[in-house]
Chain A
Amino acid sequence: MTAPALITRLRGPLTFLGLLAAALLVMPLLLEPFRLNQLAQYLCYAIVALGIALAWGRGGMLALGHGVYFGLGAYAMAMHLTLAAAATDPLSPGHLPQFMVWSGLTELPWFWRPLTNPATAIAAALLVPTAVAALLGWSVFRQRVRGAYFAILNQALAAAFVILLIGQQHLTGGSNGLTDFPVFAGTSLYTPTAQYTLYALTVLTLGATYLLFRHITLSRYGKLLIAIRDGEDRVRYLGYDPTWIKTLAYALSATAAGAAGALFVPIMGIISPSLIGVIPSIMMVLAVAIGGRYSLAGAATGAVLMNAAQTTFAETFAGGWTYLQGALFVIVIALAPRGLAGLTRTAAQALSRPTPANTTPTPETTTGSHP
């Protein structure tokens, strides 16, 4: 590969990483702590978006239930933080969280116990979503359940998960969720230093996830993933087993969502079923559709933009914002299925001289997704 070609090829990722470095160093100087906290929340959603872009844009698996994986990661961390708060609370007998005391529980449920250790909590936040996704993925992909069927199963899982969280109030905090997290591993979370550290951690996780997923998509495995998206049966005829290839991508995208959830909890200060149900899961996909499902950087940008717009508009004109979101769905799917990333690419190509076929393959139609 010649040097100019290498520069062209690396221009996108270098821009993205440059932006991340700027986010790490410059944004804390420009933004007041409250705004920085909000930006950190959006970046958490950007991590989820990277996962969805991998599963959906590359693998053709419409992940309509990523709220579940985000939620599993978030709850693992929130449960640990709740226990940490209860341990220092003189008013809580036996160091039980308040809501358990009110529900009449006298000892900690078995699945809460390992989470007293912060390392276990972080491991659980990453491994539990991965394991659930791998199990669901493997069991349906191996029977060639795909396309819309898979999307519906994702939705059903999100619905069932939220109903479970709300129903088991004595174990999960119910529809109020878990909130009020003052300390993590003995350090206060309310200091500006802690908030900056969390922000920096989120930026670094986003950057690492981006580099990992980019490496994956450019590898031989990534090519297979795209091949499966565009013609699963043909890949099967070539002697590959799509089950494992799809399961791996889906599980990895769940890991990203779990990590994002674990970061989100100390930043946001609350996690509740209303943040992870059917509708929030679809909104995560909308962000990816707007940003560009075939582009990792586009998906992440879409998530930041949409969540920023959400906070800006939702409070002032809630109704109008819902209309706009609905219209965005229709407009993006109808007119720009490749999202903002596709639009900028088209614009760049129109401005410069015509270039040969670009490196990001996009399908003409989603063949093979029809059951």
Chain B
Amino acid sequence: MDALIGQLPVGLSIGAVLLLAALGLNFTFGQMGVINMAHGELIMIGAYTAYVLHAWIGLNPAYSLLIALPTAFAVTGTLGWLLELGLIRHFYGRPLDTLLLTFGIGMILQQAARDTFGAPNVDVPAPAWLTGGLTLTDNIRIHYSRLFILALAILCVVAIAYHLNRSRAGRQMRAVIHNRDLAATTGINTRKVDATTFFIGSGLAGIAGVALTLIGPTGPTLGTNYIVDAFLVVVIGGLGQLRGTILAALALGLLNATVEAWADASLAKLIVFAAIVAFLQARPQGLLTVKTRALT
């Protein structure tokens, strides 16, 4: 039992990382039906943005993290927006084709990163105020960087929830997710909403990337390690809803951590996979879905 409680903070922080990676995906998938495999590479570019700010521009690690977060959001958001504008929007309604298309884009971005920054991993030093950790009991200790990621995930969720529920653009977004044709009939410019959603979704990938620099090295294949798990979060959580994604990310994080506590880590992945297939037997549409009368 002690070991299980000890896994709780680990599970929460895995869940927070998954949540950051999956938040953006859920909206591009839920609203436009786009399986953006390049999302992983956007995460990777976010991480390299933090690296560039520190190593090339030479910002002080003490505050470069705080500058990296909005910068990465802008950089990957713009990149995602350009991709949507130039390529992806022509493939709406063909989800499987967008998957392969964006995988190709991801390969190109990954190789570009390899050519620019080199294949070996680079390190982005964490600011001094994030070293050390919080000791709760004798065997439970949380690193400050993990706490920071948790706080960052909460902040992002709150910001998105505010955007979706309070702002005009966010309400338009929800309308399009619920029923695209009806939203268009009421005068919403769905093209513009799609582009905005893609910008926000891709920008969130950048923030996830910066967060990942705190817990591991940065390399060209950084995103590939997270993309499959992030999509699983979307599959479990259900499409187009914030609550489902949050619950699924935390559940998957905790499940990973607890299974790893009593089984071998390599076996854990397969057990988690079996658990997901079993879960889909009960709820094939995911935890929560948008109730809509739109024909699918």
B211 close to A (CB within 8 Å)? no
For the complex, what is the distance from the CA of A147 to the CA of B97, rounded to whole Å? 11
Interface residue ranges of B68-118 to A (CB < 8 Å)? 87, 90-91, 93-97, 99-101, 103-108, 110-111, 114-115
Instruction: Say whether A163 contacts B266, CB under 8 Å.
Output: yes
Contact A148 B266 (CB under 8 A): no
Which of chain A's residues have a CB closer than 8 A to the CB of B91?
333-334
Which B residues between 146 and 171 are near A, CB-CB below 8 angstroms?
none
Residues 324-366 of A contacting B (Cβ, < 8 Å): 325-330, 333-334, 337, 365-366
Could you pull out 27 A-B pairs where Cβ atoms are within 8 angstroms? A139-B280, A140-B280, A144-B284, A147-B95, A148-B29, A148-B99, A152-B228, A152-B234, A155-B231, A157-B273, A160-B269, A160-B272, A160-B273, A163-B269, A282-B103, A286-B100, A319-B114, A325-B104, A329-B101, A329-B103, A329-B105, A330-B108, A333-B100, A333-B101, A334-B91, A334-B101, A370-B296
Q: Which residues of B contact A327 (CB under 8 A)?
A: 104, 108
Query: Considering the chains assembled together, what is the distance between the CA atoms of A326 and B115 in angstroms?
Result: 15
B64 within 8 A of A: no
Report whether B235 and A152 are in contact in the complex, using a CB–CB cutoff of 8 Å: yes
Asked if A110 is at the interface (CB within 8 A of a chain B CB), the reply is no
The docked-state distance in angstroms from the alpha carbon of A151 to that of B108 is 21
Chain A residues lying within 8 Å of B105, measured Cβ to Cβ, are: 326, 329-330
Distance to closest chain B CB from A335 (angstroms): 11
Q: Please tell me if B188 contacts chain A, counting CB pairs below 8 Å.
A: no
Min CB distance B198 to A, Å, is 17
Whose C-beta in chain B lies nearest to the C-beta of A368? Answer: B296
Question: Which residue on A lies nearest to B230, using beta carbons?
Answer: A152
Question: Considering only CB atoms and an 8 Å cut-off, how many residues of chain A contact the other chain?
Answer: 49
User: Which B residues are in CB contact (< 8 Å) with A147?
Assistant: 95-96
Residues 254-296 of B, flagged 1 when their CB comes within 8 A of A and 0 if not, give 0000000000111101101100110011001100000000001
What chain B residues lie within 8 Å of A152 (beta carbons)? 35, 228, 231-232, 234-235
Q: Are B99 and A330 in contact (CB under 8 A)?
A: no
Which residue from B33, B103, B269 sits with its C-beta under 8 Å from A370?
A: B33
Q: Say yes or no: A148 contacts B264, CB within 8 Å.
A: no
Binding site for A on B (CB under 8 A): 29, 33, 35, 87, 90-91, 93-97, 99-101, 103-108, 110-111, 114-115, 224, 228-229, 231-232, 234-235, 239, 264-267, 269-270, 272-273, 276-277, 280-281, 284-285, 296
Residues of A that sit less than 8 Å from B by CB: 60, 62, 64, 136, 139-140, 143-145, 147-149, 151-153, 155-157, 159-161, 163-164, 166-168, 278-279, 282, 285-286, 289, 319, 322-323, 325-330, 333-334, 337, 365-366, 369-371
Question: Which A residues lie within 8 Å of B265 (CB)?
Answer: 167
Residues of B within 8 A of A145 (CB): 280, 284
- Name which of A136, A160, A285 has the most chain B CB atoms within 10 A of its CB: A160
CB of B178, distance to nearest CB on chain A (Å): 15
Would you give the shortest CB distance from A235 to chain B, in whole angstroms? 16
- Asked if residues B87 and A370 are in contact (CB atoms below 8 Å), the reply is no
Determine how close the nearest CB of chain B comes to the CB of A274; give it in whole angstroms.
13
Chain A interface, DSSP helix/strand/loop, else mixed: helix
When the two chains form the complex, which single residue of A167, A319, A326 contacts B104, counting CB atoms closer than 8 Å?
A326
Provide the bound-state CA to CA distance between A265 and B264, in Å: 28
Shortest beta-carbon distance, B115 to chain A, in Å? 6
**Supplied contacts A164-B266, A286-B100, A330-B108, 9 more A-B pairs, CB within 8 Å:** A143-B281, A149-B235, A152-B228, A153-B235, A153-B277, A155-B228, A160-B270, A326-B104, A330-B101
Distance of A31 Cα from B117 Cα, bound (Å): 41
In the docked arrangement, what's the CA distance between A157 and B231, Å?
A: 13
* CB <8 Å contact, B95 and A370: yes
Q: Which residues of A sit under 8 angstroms from B87, Cβ to Cβ? A: 330, 334
Most buried by A among B90, B232, B277: B277
**Contact status of A323 and B296, CB under 8 A, knowing A156-B232, A160-B273:** no
When distances are taken between beta carbons in the complex, the residues of chain B under 8 Å from A366 are: 94-97
Closest A residue to B278 by CB, please name it.
A139
Structural contact, B101 and A322, CB atoms closer than 8 A: no
In the complex, residue of chain A having the shortest beta-carbon distance to the beta carbon of B264: A167
| A330 x B276 contact (CB < 8 A) | no
> A334-B87, A366-B94 are contacts. A156–B276 as well, Cβ < 8 Å?
yes
Nearest CB on B from A254, distance (A): 16
Q: Is the CB of A139 within 8 A of B281?
A: yes
Contacting residues, chain A, for B296 (C-beta < 8 A): 370-371
**Chain A residues whose CB sits within 8 angstroms of the CB of B29 once the complex forms:** 148
- Once bound together, how far apart are the Cα atoms of A224 and B54, in whole Å? 58
Q: Which residues on B sit within 8 Å (CB–CB) of A326?
A: 104-108, 111
B270 touches A161 (CB 8 A): yes
Do the beta carbons of B104 and A329 come within 8 Å of each other? Answer: yes
Residues of B within 8 A of A285 (CB): 100
Report how far A35 CA is from B273 CA in the complex, Å. 40
- State the 6 A-B residue pairs at the shortest beta-carbon distance, nearest first: A167-B266, A329-B104, A326-B107, A326-B108, A143-B284, A160-B269
